[in-house]
C-alpha cells in the first residue's frame, strides 16, 4: 500500500543576501541567507561531503519564521577553490569544517542556531554540536551516518551491492579485476588521484552515480544523470573518498562515545527504514546514546531527503522548532 503524506516543502524563495567568506587556508566558502532576517536562525549542513547546496534546501523551513542559512563546505559547490580545479585536500578536514561553521556563525552575528543536517550532514552536525554545544539550540538530523568503519565497509566494500547488484557492477567497472577483492575505498583513492584525467573522471562518475542510484526507494534516473556531471562528480567523489579513507578525521565511534555532550539539546532524528546508504542501525544506535532525541523511522522511504515521508517529518520538525532561540 502506498503511503500518502500531507506535508510538503515550502514554496521556492530567493536569498536576500549572499557572499564568500574567507576562512583561511586559501579557502572561501559560499554562504547565503533567505527567509526572515529576524527569524530563528537555522544552518543547513549539506551532505557528501562534497555535495553542496541548492535552492530546494531552503524549502524545508517556513520563510516567515526562519532566517535560513545555507553554505557550501570547502572545495565544493560555489566555494573556492573547487576540487575539480585542483583545490588542496590536505586542508579539508572535519576540524576545519567545524571551524568554518563557527567563523560563519560569527560573521553573520548569530548567537545560537538550529542545526539541520542529513547523511554526512548529520555527521558534521553532530561533531559540531559536540564541540560547540553552547551555540546549538536544537538538532534536526536525517539519514544518520556515524562514519564508523562498519558503515564504510557496508556501502563501499560489498554489503549494499547485495541489494543493488546491477549498480554494484557499474561501481566496480573502473576497478581492475585483480583489485576488486581489496579495500575499494583505497583502490578508488588511487583512481581518483590519477595523473590521467580520464581515469580520475571515470572513477568519479562511477562513485557519484553509485550513491545517486542507491539513495531512493524508487529509481530516479534523472538524479543519476545529474550526479554524473564530471565537475560535480570530481568534487563529490574526491572529497568523500578523502574523508572516508581517513575515518572522517574522527576517532572510531567518537560520535556515539561523545553523545553525552548532547544532553539538554532537543533533537529529532528522521530515518528511512530502507535507507541502504546509511542503514537504520546507526540512527537506532544514536537514539540509544541520546535518548532525549525523538527517533522517527519512515517505513516508506530510502535515504534521500526528498522522499515524501522524509520531507513530511523534516518539515513537521522544523515547524515545531521554529520558535527556538
Active-site amino acid positions: 119, 275, 303
DSSP per position, 245-258? HTGGGS-TTHHHHT
Give the C-alpha separation, 305 to 220, whole Å.
Answer: 13
CA distances from 307 to 210, 216, 273 (A): 18, 7, 12
Name which of 222, 223, 185 is nearest 207 in CA terms: 185
Nearest-angstrom CA–CA distance, 213 and 187: 21
**DSSP string over 197-214:** HHHHHHHHHHHHHHHHHH
If one counts every other C-beta atom within 10 angstroms of the C-beta of residue 157, the result is: 15
C-alpha 164/C-alpha 210 separation (Å) is 9
Integer Cα distance of 65 and 40 in angstroms = 6
Record the cell numbers describing residue 32, joined without a space.
547565503
Amino acid at each position: 500500500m502506498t503511503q500518502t503524506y500531507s506535508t510538503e516543502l515550502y514554496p521556492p524563495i530567493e536569498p536576500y543576501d549572499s557572499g564568500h567568506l574567507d576562512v583561511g587556508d586559501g579557502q572561501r566558502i559560499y554562504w547565503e541567507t533567505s527567509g526572515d532576517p529576524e527569524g530563528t536562525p537555522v544552518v543547513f549542513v549539506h551532505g557528501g561531503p562534497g555535495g553542496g547546496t541548492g535552492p530546494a534546501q531552503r524549502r524545508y523551513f517556513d520563510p516567515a519564521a526562519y532566517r535560513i542559512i545555507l553554505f557550501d563546505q570547502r572545495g565544493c559547490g560555489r566555494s573556492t577553490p573547487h576540487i575539480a580545479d585542483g583545490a588542496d585536500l590536505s586542508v579539508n578536514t572535519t576540524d576545519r569544517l567545524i571551524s568554518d561553521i563557527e567563523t560563519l556563525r560569527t560573521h553573520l552575528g548569530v548567537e545560537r542556531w538550529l542545526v539541520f543536517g542529513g547523511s554526512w550532514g548529520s555527521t558534521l552536525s553532530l561533531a559540531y554540536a559536540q564541540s560547540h554545544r553552547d551555540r546549538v539550540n536544537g538538532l534536526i538530523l536525517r539519514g544518520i551516518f556515524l562514519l564508523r568503519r562498519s558503515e564504510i565497509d557496508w556501502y563501499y566494500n560489498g554489503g549494499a551491492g547485495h541489494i543493488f547488484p546491477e549498480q554494484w557492477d557499474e561501481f566496480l567497472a573502473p576497478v581492475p579485476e585483480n583489485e576488486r577483492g581489496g579495500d575499494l575505498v583505497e583502490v578508488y583513492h588511487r583512481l581518483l588521484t590519477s595523473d590521467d584525467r580520464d581515469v580520475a573522471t571515470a572513477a568519479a562518475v562511477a562513485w557519484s552515480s553509485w550513491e545517486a542510484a542507491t539513495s531512493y526507494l524508487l529509481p530516479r534516473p534523472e538524479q543519476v544523470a545529474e550526479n554524473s556531471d564530471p565537475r560535480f562528480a570530481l568534487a563529490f567523489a574526491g572529497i568523500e573518498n578523502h574523508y572516508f579513507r581517513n575515518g572522517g578525521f574522527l576517532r572510531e565511534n567518537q560520535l556515539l562515545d561523545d553523545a553525552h555532550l548532547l544532553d539538554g539539546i532537543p533533537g529529532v532524528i528522521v530515518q528511512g527504514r530502507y535507507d541502504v546508504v546509511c542503514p537504520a542501525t546507526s540512527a537506532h544506535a544514536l537514539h540509544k546514546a541520546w535518548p532525549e532525541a525523538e527517533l522517527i523511522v519512515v517505513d516508506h522511504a530510502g535515504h534521500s531527503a526528498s522522499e515524501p515521508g522524509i520531507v513530511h517529518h523534516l518539515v513537521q520538525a522544523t515547524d515545531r522548532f521554529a520558535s527556538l532561540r
